[in-house]
Amino acid sequence: MMSERIVVKIGSSSLTSEEGGLNSERIHYFASELAALYASGHSVMLVTSGAVAAGFRQIGYASRPKAVHEKQAAAAVGQALLMQAYQEAFSKYGIVAAQILLTRADFSNRRRIQNALMTLEELLHKRIVPIINENDTVATDELVPKFGDNDNLSALVAAMAKASKLVIITDMDGLYTEDPRKNPQAVKIERVEQISEDILKLAGGAGSSVGTGGMRSKIEAARIAMRGGVPAFIGKVQQEGDLPLAVAGNGRGTYFDTKLHSLPMKKQWLGFHSMPQGRITVDDGAVEALLKGGKSLLPAGITAIEGDFHSGDVVEVATPQGETIGRGVINYEAWQIQAVAGLTTEEVKRRVDVGRIEVIHRDEWITL
């Protein structure tokens, strides 16, 4: 069996008991499944939820808290308990586990995400299992959007680490044409090669009351992974040997295949993590050049701009109909584009002094 990098995501509902608190039996089960992958030579990364669920009882809350500061307090207690449980479970197999806590803001800063990747690479090189969670004690929806359910976090980690596969564990054995709990005639979808609007509609809303992620957020995560060149599996891992089977292609779930190659770090950052500071509308000719011609964006193709951005910022690019087609790093100030939009290259050179004529160079561009 070829050694591969595998990212496995486990949600709160798989790790905790009905009344809250960690289910030690489940943690030991998942550790044994991950240890089996590790023993066969794979590099294993675990993205786990469960800090809030692990901590709220200890802190004295009767049920899972709703207020942000209460959740953060529960996570502060629970994260230590979660890591302790994993480290104890892995030590049975002689595996050392490491903790990495990330927020959305870490991903939106290129240097910070580069540092996180270097740490991850070193841990994998030393055959240590990184256990990754959102840093719930500092992440709030008010300032920076949270990953929420860690499904997206697992996809971003898989793309960043250039994993061979992302395994998202859920209580359903894959994606169905309808909810099989309501309609026994529902048919399981074994393989998906492209995530269309129809596929997203099948996924519906959120699932259990313990976790926050339903099937829809898992499909969204599969889409991010696929765009990063990582195939994904969404399904059940419940019995001994289920996880190695899922990785080998015989799991109880749905496989999301991709023909895309893994994206370089810069393009990933542009596509998934950067925060656009403005928006540029372009004409049909520029749309064609960007999407099909592999060309840079020149001032001549620009028809309108929104936002006060500066050279080096990331901006979105939209069609005349308002559909976003991609984003890139801008080489002009907003006022400079206002002054030269629609003009020829010769005319632009006469009017403004810019380092390079391309508004967005194709090396700094990603199609969405």
Tell me: is residue 24 an annotated ligand-binding position: no
Q: Is 317 helix (H, G, I), strand (E, B) or coil?
A: strand
**Residue 146: in which H helix or E strand, if any?**
none
Backbone angles phi, psi at 244, to 5 degrees: -60, -35
Positive or negative: CA dihedral 347, 350, 351, 354: positive
Tell me: is residue 11 an annotated ligand-binding position: no
- Residues 82, 152, 246, CA angle at the centre, nearest 5°? 75
**Residue 10: in which H helix or E strand, if any?**
strand 5-10
- How would you classify the pairing of strands 252-256 and 191-192? parallel
Q: Which residue has the tokens 């960690």?
A: 22
Tell me: is residue 212 an annotated ligand-binding position: yes
Contact criterion met (CB below 8 Å) for 312 and 341: no
Tell me: is residue 217 an annotated ligand-binding position: yes
Cα 151 from Cα 143, distance rounded (Å): 20
Tell me: is residue 214 an annotated ligand-binding position: yes
Tell me: is residue 344 an annotated ligand-binding position: no
Contact criterion met (CB below 8 Å) for 263 and 279: no
Cα 295 from Cα 365, distance rounded (Å): 10
Q: And the tokens for 41?
A: 């030579």
Cα 72 from Cα 60, distance rounded (Å): 14
Cα 128 from Cα 43, distance rounded (Å): 8
> If we measure between CA atoms, which residue out of 13, 5, 44, 192 comes closest to residue 131?
44
Cα 268 from Cα 321, distance rounded (Å): 26
Cα 281 from Cα 324, distance rounded (Å): 9
Tell me: is residue 285 an annotated ligand-binding position: no
| Strand residues in 232-313 grouped as ranges (E) | 232-236, 252-256, 278-282, 302-306
- How would you classify the pairing of strands 232-236 and 165-169? parallel
Tell me: is residue 9 an annotated ligand-binding position: yes
Distance from the first to the final alpha carbon of the chain = 35
Q: And the tokens for 272?
A: 């998934």
**Sequence ranges of the binding site for substrate:** 49, 136, 150
**Sequence ranges of the binding site for ATP:** 9, 170-171, 212-218
**Sequence ranges of the binding site:** 9, 49, 136, 150, 170-171, 212-218
